Chain A
Amino acid sequence: MEMYVLLGFVLLLSIFLGLELISKVPSTLHTPLMSGANAISGIALVGALMLSSTGQMQDILAFGAILFASINVFGGYLVTNRMLSMFKKK
């Protein structure tokens, strides 16, 4: 239970940090920021890799989680990069 208290603390601090970091973003970057953050939410891939393999059902669930998180990660980063490469100052 101590572990949860500690990690809960990390959770809260990270949220506050996130709020501070992003409170002043120019509206030009709203879409890339959203899409970049979306790619980061693909971190669920790490969670998917940590799953256990104790039967067929668990393997199917793990495969699904890895598959969809990977789509999120690869697609998210690539689309963000494509978008950002269009933003140019002449």
Chain B
Amino acid sequence: MQILLEFAQGPLFRLAFGIMAIGLLRIFILDIWGAVEAYRRAGDKNIPWAKTVKKSLGWLFPIKRAFGSRPFYSLISILFHIGLILVPIFLFAHVNLWEKGAGLSWVTLPKTWADYLTLSTVLFGLALFFGRVSVKAASYISRKQDYFWPLILIIPFVTGYLCANVGISSSGYQFFMLAHVLSAEIIFVLIPFTKIAHCVIMPLSQFVVALAWKFPPDTDEPISISLDKKGIPI
């Protein structure tokens, strides 16, 4: 178990982390490349730059857009993202590892906050899963990975919580740590090849659409009218 854990925390971690880091960089570059190619081929080169930037920023902080058709689900999703992003990056134990391994360190979360955020992430992750399963309409726009992701994402949070609170898991610490590390590594490897890649290409999505799908500016209004959906976010 000890040897397996060391292997998972050493070479396997670096493999997974390398695939994630360079993989995200890769799709980021490929996305920009594709968009530039589309722009070069486009007959109409008038791109509404200012509007696209505004739209991208709007989607990065989706306060206004999110509360359209399913406000409760959107709220859960936002809360889920807070813990999902903050805890792995700012957890003291993780920063400590970075400092030991690479000499880098940054601010950390207080332990109680980290614990609450972890638990909330697990709860909201489950809620997201059930939210998707329970609404029939959601199944029409769901792929397999959409069901699968909220569930696999909470595994490292559950096991991480058990490891951080040794009182609960003192006997199975090594097992939980191994599960924690391995599940996180599986997630790392999958990130650049699945929808989780939106963590880096999300800011680009509006640009890619604006460059590659040439709707003339200000046509979203007439389109939504013709679809009989005026005022409803599509």
Q: Do A and B bind each other?
A: no
Task: Using CB atoms and an 8 Å cutoff, list the residues of chain A in contact with chain B.
Answer: none
Task: Using CB atoms and an 8 Å cutoff, list the residues of chain B in contact with chain A.
Answer: none
